[in-house]
Amino acid sequence: MKTISPQDLSVPDFYRLLNSSIAPRPIAFVSTISKEGHVNLSPYSFFNIFGFNPPMLVFSPSRNRHGHKKHALLNVEEVPEVTINVVSHRMVEQMSLASAEFDRHVNEFDKAGFTPLPSERVVPPRVAEAPVSYECVVRQLVPLGDAPGAGTLVVCEVVLAHFHDEIFDANGQIDPFRIDLVGRLGADWYVRANDAALFEVARPQMGVGVDQIPLPIRNSNILTGNDLGRLGSAKTLPTPDEVAAYRQTEAVRSLMDEARFGCQYLPDLLHLRAKQLLAEGNVTEAWLTLLVA
């Protein structure tokens, strides 16, 4: 393992490590306006939700390599309102174009080919192509420094939200396959939150915990940390009588025969079988299989 102090690397070198390891990051496609009425549209991946009552979003424009403030920050210092637009896969190339360092009074809506829609409660327009747009008032600016790369937290309260109808499922919930979001990685890399990249993890319940898993199982070379997490979510462990009864089942007898006649290590076969059961969501039978060993 490499242990690195930020002081031991140049700022750009440590930035590359941060940017590639704190990822994927959601993207705030931020529309702002100057006091003269000039609109800016720029993406920021230093962004997330920071509370929902009231609903608060925070993004951070970092100073450029010369130490100058980004145009969005200059605008919100003059007009403390923004729209924060969500980025889907079908608009990612246009969004990237809008991130180029155009002059301050160049309108990125025009340069990147986006359609501005009038907002209802704030002055900056929203992006028609975005699946979701939030109209926000800026509640606080928190400067974090004035050197190149230093950020300023822009703390925004959502006052109105707009959602395209097409992103909802039959239950009225946002469908991750339909909204088709993208996230920012390091360098030129992005991730698409769709297809095989999507998976579900059930909300945890008060289970027995990984600390209650016997050491031979916990130290298995076959089971992963994810497998142990699923085992630890079980509310109770099988009783000795249940394990004894399960040992007599055809599934276990078949594994015992395979070990005997195939000269294989029975615990490994049982752990492989348990891993398969866990992948299928059958935690109870996985426990029974492991405790047979």
Residue 105: per-residue pLDDT = 87
Residue 199: per-residue pLDDT = 79
Per-residue pLDDT for 262 more than 80? no
> Mean pLDDT of all residues in the chain?
94
> What's the pLDDT tens digit per position in 123-132?
999 999 999 9
Q: What angle do CA 233, 236, 239 make, to 5 degrees?
A: 140
Tokens of 157: 């309260």
Overall size of the chain counted in residues: 293
- The whole-angstrom separation of Cα 4 and Cα 164 is 45
44 Cβ contact list (under 8 Å, min separation 6): 27, 28, 30, 59, 60, 61, 72
* Domains detected in the chain: 6-197 (2.30.110.10), 210-292 (no CATH)
Confidence of residue 117 (pLDDT cuts 50, 70, 90): very high
Per-residue pLDDT for 174 more than 90? yes
> What's the pLDDT tens digit per position in 200-227?
877 877 888 999 999 999 999 999 999 9
Bigger pLDDT: 267 vs 142 = 142
Confidence of residue 94 (pLDDT cuts 50, 70, 90): very high
Residue 104: per-residue pLDDT = 87
Residue 215: per-residue pLDDT = 93
- The whole-angstrom separation of Cα 18 and Cα 12 is 10
